[in-house]
A and B are shown apart, each in its own frame.
Chain A
Amino acid sequence: MTALRAVLLALALLSAAPVAAADEPYPSRPLTIVVPFPPGGIADLTARPLAAAMERLVKQPVVVSNKAGAGGGVGAQSVAIAKPDGYTLLLGLVSISLLPERDALFGQKPAYTRDQFVGIARLNADPPVLAVNAELPWKSVKELLDDARKRPGEITYASSGIYGASHVPLEMLLQAGGGLKMRHLPTTGGGPATTAVLGKHAALWASPPALALPHAKAGKMRVLATWGATRLAAFPDVPTLKELGYDVEYYLWAGLFTPRGTPAATVKALRDAVRQSVQDPEFRSAMEKAQTPIAYQDADEFKAFWDKDAHTLAEVVKRIGKVEDK
């Protein structure tokens, strides 16, 4: 009898083994968060403390892997085609909506599409600020735009790259100001764009607040407005564009994504983990130091936000159109 029981038990164990493998509890091995930019950027600075906080919750290592290239296209594509099992995630920025639009504009096959991702959560959303060289005369958005109206195509603005995260908000403002024209000086990132404005090679740019703050304090840049719905804590005297009567709102946001097709239960587990992670004191202090306020949204809310945001941005990119080469 005991022998029979032992045999039955063994058989039961054997048959149970593959079943256990099929629905093994998630997560049972290390997770990877792909950051599609080099270390040190805002995506990286968000991903690392998030990974550390999630690690404590899911009891599995969470590895951050920087896959930089093509303005974020390389990393995003690698996650888009990854196995949708919840072990490969993407920390994407607002530019995730812009790259496919750029490809569409040139009639190129996009590296990925927005449909290939499911948002788990939005983590932060920072509105850029309108920063002008302090030696230039404009004291308000109105003065600047009036001047632009008088001298179409003569004022130059810098950006961190064409169709990029700081090109689009400026064009939104110019479109809202009645189809104004300025010259565009694309550079290769936030640092070069800041340098161009400081050296007066360009007059202004839509800067992340953390980059503009030290130069505003030193009296080298003047901040005229922000793209957010409410004023920024770092710039309490700076009005929002909405206050000034321009109907534009824009955020440099970061969110966590998983490839479409990830099982619902896994997505649920990830949402729970991220929801608790953003409450983590260490994560909060890391975000505070990086001067990037947390602006958390759970999956459903995030989806609504992202769809609306992407739709607006797509319209702006279409209106900018193909840039004529000089």
Chain B
Amino acid sequence: MLETLGNLGAGFSVALSPPILFYAFVGCVIGTLVGVLPGVGPLAGISLLLPATFGLDATRAIVMLAGIYYGAMYGGSTTSILMRIPGEAASVMTCIDGYAMARKGRAGAALAIAAVGSYVAGTGSIVGLMALAPPLATFALRFGPPEYTALYVLGLLVLAYMSSGSMVKSLAMAALGLLLGMVGIDQMTGYFRYAYGVVELGDGLGVVPVAVGLFGVAEILASAGQPAPPEVIKPRMRELLPTRQEWRESGWPIARGTVLGFLIGILPGSAHIIASFVSYAVEKRWSRHPEQFGHGAVAGVAGPESANNSATSGAMVPMLALGVPSGPIPAVMLAAIMVHGVAPGPLLIQQQPQLFWGFIASMYVGNVMLLILNLPLVGLFVNILRVPYPYLYPAILIFATLGVYAVNNSVVDVWIMLVTGLLGWLLRKLDFETAPVVLGVVLAPLLELSLRQSLAMSDGHYGIFVQRPIAATLLAAGAALVLLNLYSFVRRGLDWRAKLALAEKGEAQ
């Protein structure tokens, strides 16, 4: 422990040196921007800026790129709360309650809670990264394809169990998402599915264009279809800060989101997106007022916003401790340090203590910077709401199109955004939730790949899922959840979900 503190001290002396401070700041600013602009997410931001880091040394490069990654999690909530347009895919859940809060005139409070939650989660999860990286990374290695399959199945069951309202409708939407996620090259056989000769569809429907389409474009279409333009909410300065009540309601969600996000972040895939979904579901289940969710529940902003930030630190665990990426973003960051001749691997922490501890310390510093940067911006961003809709929405549409195009320089992605936008508008008219569609698109490739990889490992025998202890435990947990559901179904008693649906019905009348 003492040694860790000593190392961290040395790390801070690196992190607080002017050049590192400068690059951390640049990273945080770019990250916030990338997060605020709809379409451009952290992956696009980091990929676009990677070449610019080739001239820097390895520590500066990784400090700046990491700043973009966690900075984007701060910025992502802004447009979600103000306009129901996710700044990046991990803010989809924030759209629901954040925007509802904004409609009630609590936009400032939502933004402030998102920023503080992100800060607490960012800082808290770095402690986890620092203390637990080597043992956790070794444990994560024991997760092979069968374990991931079991985990994703459990995840889907948990989310289904926790969703309120019509379960059939939520499941139908998740299934639609899973179907959309099937488009693209079959990773196991190399066959092109549902691509109809469009080479760009080989990689499937990207999460970014789908999320921006389903939420952003659909929202703009829905507003444009209203007979009278939505009322412009003029925020007053004294309403910017959260009330004591709102702080109290966000405390535990932030803490839970931090732990959840960190643990989910270690797993491969788009962890920051999945973490925000799981956190939202957990908060709703845990809440004493689940009926408030969807109508401006503070916990629905605090939890997911903390979780997605914390997941970014979790994603660094396998990257720093083992030198293997847990997803596309850490993969680009690994490339950034490899360019400088630093070989990422299990010996990185020993061989490059300056880089490792400097990087950790710079994340502490970066999170403070982001808090200082974002809290005053709350006042500024809230003023966006004053812009009349006829000017605001076309501008947003332009930014979203540019952002989605920039990710792969692909016009096909823009079409995907527009088509899913129409689809999202239609689904909203028919009273379907669109968040499960996004979740399906995120999970489909992961679930499919790990399921089929498991079967490749076992030569087609499904026994592999029960022979491996971790996978078996996870599946047993999932089965218990289903049984629990069946039990209340058989007893014909009203479980909490039915009560919730009734309560919502009562509210509507």
Which residues of A come within 8 Å of B, CB atoms? 38-41, 44-45, 48, 64-71, 73-74, 77, 102, 105-106, 108-109, 111, 153, 156, 161-163, 183-189, 191-192, 194-196, 198-202, 210, 213-215, 217-218, 220, 286, 288-291, 322-323, 325-326
Contact = CB atoms under 8 A, between A and B. Distances in A.
A195 B141 contact: yes
B43 to A, nearest CB: 9
Contact of A161 (B187, B191, B325, B341): B187
Contacts of B197: 109
A108 B192 contact: yes
B188 A186 contact: yes
B335 A40 contact: yes
Contacts of A185: 145, 453, 456-457
A65 B409 CA distance: 9
Nearest to B453: A185
A191 B331 contact: yes
A105 to B, nearest CB: 8
Contacts of B343: 210, 213-214, 291
A195 B267 CA distance: 12
Contacts of B449: 188
A196 B202 contact: no
B503 interface: no
B322 interface: yes
A262 B324 CA distance: 42
B142 A199 contact: yes
B200 A215 contact: no
Given A40-B50, A191-B325, A322 B203 contact: no
Given A39-B51, A162-B187, A198-B141, A183 B457 contact: yes
A221 B259 CA distance: 33
Given A153-B459, A196-B144, A199-B141, A74 B188 contact: no
A69 B189 contact: no
A325 B472 CA distance: 24
Interface of B: 47-48, 50-51, 54, 141-145, 185, 187-192, 197, 199-200, 202-203, 268, 318, 322-325, 328, 331-332, 334-336, 338-341, 343-348, 408-410, 449, 452-453, 455-457, 459-460
B47 A39 contact: yes
A326 B448 CA distance: 13
A106 B190 CA distance: 9
A199 B86 CA distance: 36
A326 B318 CA distance: 31
B202 A77 contact: no
Contacts of A109: 197
A128 B383 CA distance: 57
Given A40-B336, A111-B199, A188-B449, 6 more contacts: A39-B48, A70-B203, A77-B199, A106-B192, A186-B188, A189-B331
Contacts of B142: 199
Contact of B346 (A200, A210, A220, A288): A220
A106 B199 contact: no
7 contacts: A67-B409, A69-B199, A70-B199, A185-B145, A214-B323, A218-B347, A291-B343
Given A69-B202, A195-B318, A40 B192 contact: no
Nearest to A215: B345
Contacts of A217: 345, 347
Contact of A186 (B51, B334, B453): B453
Contact of A322 (B189, B344, B409, B455): B189
What 5 pairs across the A-B complex have the smallest Cβ distances?
A: A214-B345, A40-B335, A70-B202, A201-B144, A199-B141
Contacts of B322: 195, 198
Contact of B339 (A156, A183, A290, A325): A290
Contacts of A38: 47, 328, 332
Nearest to A323: B189
Contacts of A183: 456-457, 459
A76 to B, nearest CB: 9
Contacts of B54: 48
B210 to A, nearest CB: 16
Contacts of B47: 38-40, 66
Given A40-B331, A73-B199, A199-B143, A67 B408 contact: yes
A77 B340 CA distance: 31
A68 B325 contact: no
A39 B410 CA distance: 15
Contacts of B192: 70, 106, 108
Nearest to A98: B190
Contacts of A106: 190-192
A326 B199 contact: no
B455 A326 contact: yes
A64 B202 contact: no
A215 B459 contact: no
Nearest to A324: B189
A215 B347 CA distance: 8
Given A40-B332, A187-B453, A290-B339, A71 B202 contact: yes
A188 B324 CA distance: 13
Contacts of B410: 67, 69, 74
A326 B460 contact: yes
B445 to A, nearest CB: 9
A149 to B, nearest CB: 17
A265 B341 CA distance: 38
A290 B199 CA distance: 30
A171 to B, nearest CB: 13
A323 B185 CA distance: 14
A192 B191 CA distance: 20
A74 B197 CA distance: 11
Contacts of A74: 199-200, 202-203, 410
A40 B65 CA distance: 13
Nearest to B332: A40
A326 B452 contact: yes
Contacts of B202: 69-71, 73-74
A206 to B, nearest CB: 17
Given A102-B190, A210-B343, A201 B199 contact: no
A259 B451 CA distance: 40
Nearest to B407: A68
Contact of B187 (A186, A288, A290): A186
A210 B456 CA distance: 27
